[in-house]
Amino acid sequence: MTTWPRRRSMIVLERVRRRVGGVFCMAAAAWAGGSAWAAEPSAAEFPSRTVQVIVPYPPGGLTDGLVRQLAAELGQAWKQSVVVENRGGGGTTIGTAQVARAQPDGHTLLFTSTGLVTNQILMKSLPYEADALSAVAMGGTAPNVLYVRPGLPVQSVAELVAYAKARPGEVKFASTGNGSSPHLTAELLASRAGISILHVPYKGAGPALTDLLAGHVDAMFHFPASLALAKQGKLRALAVAADERLADAPDLPTVVQAGVPGVVSGSWFGFFVPSATPAAIQDRIHRDVAQALRAPTVRRYMQESGLVSPPMSRAQFSAFITHERDKWAELIRTRNIRLE
């Protein structure tokens, strides 16, 4: 039988145990809450260190040039270093996967283009989940201009179509890579015009344009910036794959005006972050990118490069990406386009 003094001692010990346990529980909760708070910094505190922007393309192209202009402006706005790193390879999947796996705190961004959506259609598997990234901010768009080597005996889209029909599968169309905007625009032209072409993919715009200038390939869809080469007689511009003629090249017809309906296509460039990044930080990045796009140096670069920056909210940019995926999925399926 337990005596009263001993029983009283046991009651006191139990009360102490409960109090101590409660303290530990509160401490654990405070620690967990502090960790969660640290993992999700507020937009006001962002960025707290260097921001890394991954470009999944080789250096030197328009994607690389535009993001470096924007990075300089963002660095000033954020009062932190914004470092651009080119991580090409794997059809843009290597650099994209790096961002998809990054800490979702806004300090690792992806700046990419059309390959992000076409890879989901063309590749059997990806080193990241399709929904691993969120569209944050549109950087710019550029219509595709159809260029041919000067030695090709054609002066118009109609003559190019006739030339290709007489030589099925022989006309070489260069592109910046499988599934790229120049590649798919060439396939769209071939589909609408009823011709067969030979696709020649390159690792980036630089090598492709170099071979077109050298006459190793016959044609290529590329940015309006290369109109300067056409004015020098180094290339011949036949048409622009846009709804309207270019303000800087009013004599250049659209592909539709030149006789091939439905060929409207351009390249786009934008910022993405890991999907788990807090919405407040995504909003902050979107807002600051929009501000950077209004900077005089950026506007001058975009004008010289033939780029425009249509205003888009985060939701509108996300809807744009979905539309791009659906549009190219249909072409890829009907043309039976595969990765070589």
Annotate the chain with three-state secondary structure: CCCHHHHHHHHHHHHHHHHHHHHHHHHHHHHHHHHHHHHCCCHHHCCCCCEEEEECCCCCCHHHHHHHHHHHHHHHHHCCCEEEEECCCHHHHHHHHHHHCCCCCCCEEEEECCHHHHHHHHCCCCCCCCCCEEEEEEEEEEEEEEEECCCCCCCCHHHHHHHHHHCCCCCEEEECCCCCHHHHHHHHHHHHHCCCCEEEECCCHHHHHHHHHHCCCCEEEECHHHHHHHHCCCCEEEEEECCCCECCECCCCECCCCCCCCCCCEEEEEEEEECCCCHHHHHHHHHHHHHHHCCHHHHHHHHHHCCECCCCCHHHHHHHHHHHHHHHHHHHHHHCCCCC
- Cα distances (angstroms) measured from residue 152 to each of 212, 213, 237: 11, 12, 12
pLDDT, position 40: 56
Averages of pLDDT over each 10 residues, the chain, 340 residues: 44 43 42 44 86 92 92 98 94 95 98 92 92 97 96 98 98 92 95 97 89 98 94 97 92 97 94 98 98 97 90 96 92 83
- What does the pLDDT read at residue 38? 45
Q: Examine the fold and report which residue of 225, 241, 257 is the final residue of a domain before the chain moves on.
A: 241
User: Is residue 14 a part of any domain in this protein?
Assistant: no
Distance CA 159, CA 104 (A): 52
The pTM (predicted TM-score) of the whole model is 0.80
101 found inside a domain: yes
Tokens of 148: 């041919």
| Per-residue pLDDT at 18 | 46
Does residue 53 sit in the same domain as residue 137? yes
- Domain that residue 103 falls in: 47-142+267-335
User: Are both 130 and 151 inside the same structural domain?
Assistant: no
The pLDDT assigned to 41 comes to 61
Q: Do 182 and 197 reside in the same domain of the chain?
A: yes
CA distance 242 to 98: 34
Residue 165 and residue 313 in one domain: no
Same domain, 155 and 125: no
Distance from C-alpha of 20 to C-alpha of 1, rounded to nearest angstrom: 29
- pLDDT for the residue numbered 19: 44
